Amino acid sequence: MAHTLSAKKRVRQTEARTARNRARTSKIKTFMKKVEAAVAKGDADAAAAAFKLAQPQLARGVGKGVLHKNTAARRISRLAHQVKKLAAAAA
């Protein structure tokens, strides 16, 4: 248990930051799941649209410090590969 005022403030700040970061992480995962669901369904147009929305969310996660830049790059790359593969199969 924190005793000093500054330690109590740090506890409050950590709780607020943790809640914000969890919300951001959850939002990113939701956008990724939408892309993956569209790919699984085989809908190339929906997958491409969902990917266009997911990509900036992943980049924003990097900017806010929730994700490492290489992690976001890897996830974007994998999603892009799935969407491209689906679009090629549909064409």
Enumerate the domain spans of the chain.
28-90
Report the percentage of the chain scoring pLDDT > 90: 95
For the entire predicted model, the pTM comes to 0.88
pLDDT tens-place string over residues 70-80: 999 999 999 99
Q: Return the CATH number of the domain spanning residue range 28-90.
A: 1.20.58.110
How many other C-beta atoms are found inside a 10 Å radius of the C-beta of residue 72?
20
Decide: 46 and 86 in contact? Cβ < 8 Å: no
Nearest CA to 43 out of 76, 80, 90, 84 is that of 90
Predicted local distance difference test score (pLDDT) of residue 90:
81
pLDDT tens-place string over residues 35-67: 999 999 999 999 999 999 999 999 999 999 999
Residue 91 has pLDDT above 80, yes or no: no
Count CA atoms within 13 Å of residue 77 on its CB side. Answer: 6
